[in-house]
Amino acid sequence: MTVLRTVISGRRSPARTVCGTFAAWLVLAACFVQPARASDYREPAVDSVYAGLIREYTTDPQFLSPLVDHVPSDPNVPSPREFLGYIPGTPRQLTHYTKIKAYFEALAAASHNARLYTIGRSNEGKEMIVMLIADKAVLDDMGRYTGYTKQLSRPRVTSESRAEEIIEQARPIYYITGGLHSTETGPPEMLMELAYRLAVGRSHFIENIRERVITMITPVLETDGRERMVDWYNRYTKDHTDWEDMPPRTPPYWGKYVFHDNNRDGIQLSQPLTRNVARLFFEYHPQVMLDLHESVPFLYVSAGTGPYGPNLDPIVTSEWQWISNHEVAELTKFGMPGVWTWGFYTGWYPGYLLWWGNNHNSIGRFYETYGNAGASTIDREPKRKFAGKEVTSKQWYRPWPPHKKVKWSLRNNTNYMQSGVLVSLDFVAKNGKSLLYNFWKKGANAVERGRSKKPRAWIIPGDGQNNWELGYLVNNLRAQGIEVHRLDKTFTVGDDKYAKGDFVVRMDQPYRDLAKTLLEKQDFPEDAEFQPYDDVAWTLPLLYGVKADKIDDEAVLQAPMSPVESDVRIAGEKPKARRRAYLISASSTQKLIEARLMLGDIAVFAAEEAFKVGKRTYPVGSWVIPAVETPGLRDAVEGIAAKLGIDVYSSRSVPDVPKHNLDFPRLAVFHTWTYTQDSGWVRFTLDQANVPYTLINKDHLRDGDLRRHFDVILIPDLGRWFQPKQLVHGIDSKWGPMPYTASSEFKYHGLVDETDDLTGGMGFKGLGHLESFIEQGGTLITLGAGSLIPVELGLVRGVDRKKPSGFNNPGSVVRTLVTDKTSNILYGYDETPNIFRGNLPLFDVPKKYRSWKVLHYGIEPDKDDSEDEDEKKDTEKSKKPEPICISGFVKGEKHLKGKPAILEIKQGEGRVIIFSFNPMHRYLTHASFGLVYNAIMNWND
Tens of pLDDT, residues 307-322: 999 999 999 999 999 9
Averaged confidence pLDDT in the chain: 94
Q: Answer whether residue 667 shows pLDDT above 70.
A: yes
| End-to-end CA, the chain | 78
State percent of the chain over pLDDT 70: 95
The whole-number pLDDT of residue 33 equals: 52
Q: Classify the phi-psi angles of 705: left when phi > 0, otherwise alpha if psi is within -120 to 50, otherwise beta.
A: left
Percent of the chain residues past pLDDT 90, beyond the cut: 92
> Among the listed ranges 56-60, 446-450, 574-578, which one has the minimum average pLDDT value?
574-578
Q: What is the DSSP string of 419-465?
A: HHHHHHHHHHHHSHHHHHHHHHHHHHHHHHHHHHSS--EEEE-STTS
Q: What is the pLDDT of residues 805-832, one digit of tens each?
A: 999 999 999 999 999 999 999 999 999 9
**How far apart, in whole angstroms, are the C-alpha atoms of residue 643 and residue 634?**
14
For residue 850, the tally of other CB atoms under 10 A from its CB is 15
Q: How confident is the model at residue 863 (pLDDT cuts 50, 70, 90)?
A: confident
Q: Would the pLDDT of 28 be above 90?
A: no
Q: Which of 39-43, 237-241, 349-353, 465-469 shows the lowest mean pLDDT across its residues?
A: 39-43
Q: Please state whether the peptide bond connecting residue 382 to the residue before it is cis, i.e. omega within 30 degrees of 0.
A: no
Q: Are 730 and 673 in contact (CB under 8 A)?
A: yes
Please give the pLDDT value at position 19.
44
The pLDDT score that the predictor gives to residue 35 is: 66
Confidence bin at 38 (pLDDT 50/70/90):
confident
Question: Looking at residue 629, what is its pLDDT?
Answer: 75
pLDDT at 878 over 60: no
Distance of CA 116 to the CA centre of its chain: 27
Q: Give me the mean pLDDT over the 912-925 stretch.
A: 98
pLDDT of residue 506: 98
> pLDDT tens, 63-73?
999 999 999 99
Q: Inform me whether the pLDDT recorded for 408 exceeds 70.
A: yes
Residue 179 is which amino acid?
G
Distance CA 68, CA 287 (A): 25
Encode pLDDT of 112-142 as tens digits. Answer: 999 999 999 999 999 999 999 999 999 999 9
What's the CA gap between 546 and 472, in Å, rounded?
10
Residue 896 pLDDT > 70: yes
Report d(CA 64, CA 298) in Å as an integer.
12
CA 187 vs. chain centroid, Å, equals 20
- Residue 127 β-bridge partners: 121
> How much is the pLDDT for 871?
60
Cα distances (angstroms) measured from residue 725 to each of 662, 730, 790, 793:
36, 8, 12, 8
pLDDT of residue 630: 76
Determine the Cα–Cα distance for residues 762 and 36; give it in Å rounded to an integer: 61
Q: Could you give the residue ranges of the DSSP H alpha helices within 123-185?
A: 136-140, 142-152, 160-169
Single pTM value for the model: 0.95
Residue with more model confidence, 841 or 32:
841
Residue 867: which pLDDT band, with cuts at 50, 70 and 90?
Answer: low
Q: What is the DSSP string of 774-829?
A: HHTT-EEEE-GGGGHHHHHTTSSSS-EEE--TT-B--SEEEEEEES-TT-GGGTT-
